[in-house]
């Protein structure tokens, strides 16, 4: 009968990009759009600054504390691991989870510091085994364009040198990753959002196709 049908799993959608690329505003729009379509949806952002680990990260980003590059890298990763189980459970229960920054930010911001013992390869290790996104939307914007947007410059990595290196590294890793959709984030809010909604609905169609067999 109907009640025996397995729940179709939710999607894991990641949004990535430089500081001020528009990730949080676009995530909010995407959540609203999917909710309006009667889809169960949750928003998660990394770093999640509310947990004990997140509070250490927040203090580091604001410049109130200093940490070794490797230590802060592992804290960012630990912050994802502490939420991994609940993300997986939500997806299994049919909830689509929209994630504002993920492992990709984790590896590129750390590797961008050019610390000789913190390579991209080293940075990937603690990320291995986290839930794999169904799609990653990369909001592509130049460091110069991003710098023009509100509030830029307040936190640790918000300078053009760092952002330019981060942008190059995002390109490097996304050449190798599957299921990455590059979105031009330099346009108006509505243009960017149309592109995102299009990419996500394609992704949802693919999820349908590989969903569980129906009896
Ligand atoms: N980090 C993060 C790591 O080093 N390792 C990790 O593992 C992780 C997860 C904090 C820092 O931590 C680093 C990366 C970051 O440096 P954060 O808390 O996500 O990460 O902070 P930010 O990325 O800085 O978040 P922002 O809120 O600044 O950027 P968003 O979310 O990309 O941008 P948004 O949506 O808030 O918009 C920024 C401004 O631009 C305007 C908005 O109105 C807003 O004023 N805007 C537009 N303006 C013109 N045209 C458009 N299309 C616009 N879209 C938005
Ligand atoms: Na944000």
Confidence at residue 178, expressed as pLDDT on a 0 to 100 scale: 79
- Residue 110 Cα: closest atom of ligand 1: 4
Q: What is the pLDDT of residue 188?
A: 96
Q: Which domain holds residue 57?
A: 2-209
Per-residue pLDDT of the chain (215 residues; tens, 9 = 90+): 566 677 789 999 999 999 999 999 999 999 999 999 999 999 999 999 999 999 999 999 999 999 999 999 999 999 999 999 999 999 999 999 999 999 999 999 999 998 999 999 999 999 999 999 999 999 999 988 998 987 777 899 999 899 999 999 999 999 988 789 999 999 999 999 999 999 999 888 777 544 445 54
Q: What is the reported pLDDT for 39?
A: 96
Nearest to 21, CA basis, from 104, 131, 113, 122: 104
Q: What is the pLDDT of residue 184?
A: 96
Q: Is residue 6 part of a domain?
A: yes
- Ligand 1 lining (C-beta closer than 6 Å): 17, 19-25, 46-47, 61, 76, 101, 105-106, 109, 149-150, 155, 157, 188-189, 192
pLDDT at 210: 45
In a domain, 43, yes or no: yes
Max alpha carbon distance in the chain (Å)?
60
In-domain check, residue 84:
yes
- At residue 212, the pLDDT reads 41
* Domain containing residue 141: CATH number: 3.40.50.300
State the total domains in the chain. 1
The whole-number pLDDT of residue 202 equals: 87
Is 90 contained in some domain? yes
- 8 A C-beta contact, residue 79 and residue 48: yes
Counted residue by residue, the chain has a size of: 215
Residue 214 counted as domain residue:
no
Q: Ligand nearest 152 Cα, by number?
A: 1
Cβ proximity of 26 and 140 under 8 Å: no
Question: 215 lies in a domain?
Answer: no
> Is residue 118 one of the residues assigned to a domain?
yes
Instruction: Centre a 10 Å sphere on the Cβ of residue 206 and count the other Cβ atoms it contains.
Output: 13
Long-range contacts, 204-207 (Cβ 8 Å, 24+): 204/11, 206/134, 207/8, 207/9, 207/11, 207/134
45 Cα: distance to centroid of ligand 2 (angstroms):
8
Per-position DSSP letters for the chain, written without gaps between them = -GGGSPPPPPPEEEEEESTTSSHHHHHHHHHHHHHHTT--EEEEESS-TTSHHHHHHHHHHTTSS---HHHHHHHHHHHHHHHHHHHHHHHHTT-EEEEES-HHHHHHHHHTT--TT--HHHHHGGGTTSPPPSEEEEEE--HHHHHTSTTTTSSTT-SHHHHHHHHHHHHHHHHH-SSEEEEETTS-HHHHHHHHHHHHHHHHHHHHHTSPPP-
């Amino acid at each position: 009968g109907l009640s025996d049908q397995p729940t179709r799993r939710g999607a894991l959608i990641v949004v990535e990009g430089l500081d001020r690329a528009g990730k949080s505003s676009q995530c909010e729009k995407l959540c609203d759009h999917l909710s309006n379509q009667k889809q169960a949806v949750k928003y998660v952002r990394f770093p999640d600054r509310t947990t004990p680990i997140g509070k250490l990260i927040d203090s580091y980003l604001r410049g109130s504390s200093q940490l070794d590059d490797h230590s802060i890298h592992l804290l960012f990763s630990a912050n994802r691991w502490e939420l991994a189980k609940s993300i997986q459970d939500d997806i299994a229960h049919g909830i689509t989870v929209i994630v504002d920054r993920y492992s990709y930010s984790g590896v590129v911001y750390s590797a961008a510091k050019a610390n000789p013992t913190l390579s991209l390869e080293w940075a990937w290790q603690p990320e291995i085994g986290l839930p794999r996104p169904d799609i990653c939307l990369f909001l592509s914007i130049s460091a110069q364009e991003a710098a023009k947007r509100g509030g830029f410059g307040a936190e640790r990595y918000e300078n053009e040198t760092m952002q330019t290196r981060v942008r190059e590294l995002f390109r490097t890793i996304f050449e190798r990753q599957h299921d990455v959709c590059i979105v031009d984030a330099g346009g108006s809010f509505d243009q960017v959002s149309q592109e995102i909604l299009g990419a996500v609905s394609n992704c949802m169609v693919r999820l349908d196709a590989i969903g569980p067999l129906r009896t």
